[in-house]
Amino acid sequence: MNMLSDIKSQARSAARKRRKAATQTVHDATERAARAFLNSVPFCSDDIIALYRPIQSELDPTPLIIALQEQGVVTCFPVVIAADTPLEFRAADSGTRFIKGAFGAEIPDDTASRVTPSLVIAPLLAFDRALYRLGYGGGFYDRTLEKLRGAQTTRAYGYAYSAQEADQVPIEPTDQKLDGIVTENGLIS
């Protein structure tokens, strides 16, 4: 491993601990984060918004998913196709059947339509005020955002507990900057 890999590995370990602790101490974060998104992030009914089904101790966006779907917004979810490739997105509504995908994440089944999101909500381990995120190390969101932003205007927001904030996230040239971070305490942009 090189020095940056070691630094990122240590940062991921510390971030996992902070996030896990937040799940046990911040009790209404899912509802507060959903309200913060709905009140602070500009979007319209024409947007296709990518969300995620939580794994491990990720902040659960289910209240936000429900609110967006009730407003008629098309929602979609990421699907890992292969290592070192961008994510694919499949549309989903309240009647969509989800199955287990890569890394244990729930994904819409193969019958769901493939779509291209205009706004991406990304899970993360840590974030900083410069609007960089630290993910799990697969580079899926960075490759995906680079591809999407190369083809169209695509906004991306991290979705996290405020306790996941770090002084500085270790970055490299392939890391994609976010447009903001939504936490239970509001929008950071």
Both tokens assigned to 78: 């990421």
Question: With 60 as the cut, is the pLDDT of residue 80 above it?
Answer: yes
**What pLDDT, in 10s, does the model give residues 58-76?**
999 999 999 999 999 999 9
**What pLDDT, in 10s, does the model give residues 4-48?**
888 898 999 899 999 998 888 888 999 999 999 999 999 998 999
Mean predicted confidence (pLDDT) in 157-179: 95
Long-range contacts (CB closer than 8 Å, 24 or more residues apart) made by 54-59: 54/123, 55/103, 55/104, 55/105, 55/123, 56/16, 56/19, 57/16, 57/19, 57/20, 57/22, 57/23, 58/19, 58/123, 59/29, 59/30, 59/33, 59/123, 59/159, 59/160, 59/161, 59/183, 59/184
Q: What is the mean pLDDT of the chain?
A: 93
| Angle 66-69-74 from CA coordinates, rounded to 5° | 135
Look at domain 3-188 and name its CATH class: alpha beta
Stated pTM of the model: 0.93
